[in-house]
Amino acid sequence: MQKKLGLVVSLILTPLILQQSSQPSQAATETVDISATIVSGITLSESQPLSFGSVMTGAGAGTLTVDPSGADSATGGITTTGVSPAIIQVTAEPGLQLLTTTDSSVTLYSGANTMTVDGFNIQSSAGGDNEILTLSSSTEDVMIGATLQVGASQPPGVYTGTFTYTVDYQ
């Protein structure tokens, strides 16, 4: 009897199960486009080094600032001749944002004597102070100024050093 009852239940339920599985589905499908753009690499080329020129010190400590336009200002009785901002030619994909950075400070050396350079100031040839650049053409000049910290009784000498300028796509 149990076999007959199981067979009867199977015969009744099988069409219901088949009927439910043949019902229309509520699923939807969409074809989605995919794209990728390969951009050119970034190249940098120093056109002009940052120069604080010939510095004449005052009685005490002071600063000498060269801004990106090439203008200079000094404190502490310092005077100078022959200053120039660094000029770096940046080549990258036009229209994309670039993040630019410099060292926060660097040391210049003349033998055992040192001076600090800090306060780096970046300006593109498109104008305005900026650390985010968007090139309008594939190559633009970036001017960089900074501030030289001159100590009281700074010993004479030719002080040299380097700073790092980094550009990356944003």
pLDDT beyond 90 at 12: no
Give me the pLDDT at residue 8, please: 47
Q: Share the mean pLDDT of the chain.
A: 87
Task: Convert the pLDDT of each residue in 52-85 to its tens digit.
Answer: 999 999 789 999 999 999 999 999 999 999 999 9
Task: Convert the pLDDT of each residue in 78-135 to its tens digit.
Answer: 999 999 999 999 999 999 989 998 999 999 999 999 999 999 999 876 555 568 888 8
- pTM (2 d.p.): 0.78
**Region 156-168 average pLDDT:** 96
pLDDT bucket at 166, cuts 50 / 70 / 90: very high
- Cβ contact 160:128 at 8 Å: no
- Cβ contact 85:144 at 8 Å: yes
List of domains in the chain = 43-169 (2.60.40)
Give every CB contact of residue 71 below 8 A, 6+ residues apart in sequence.
Answer: none
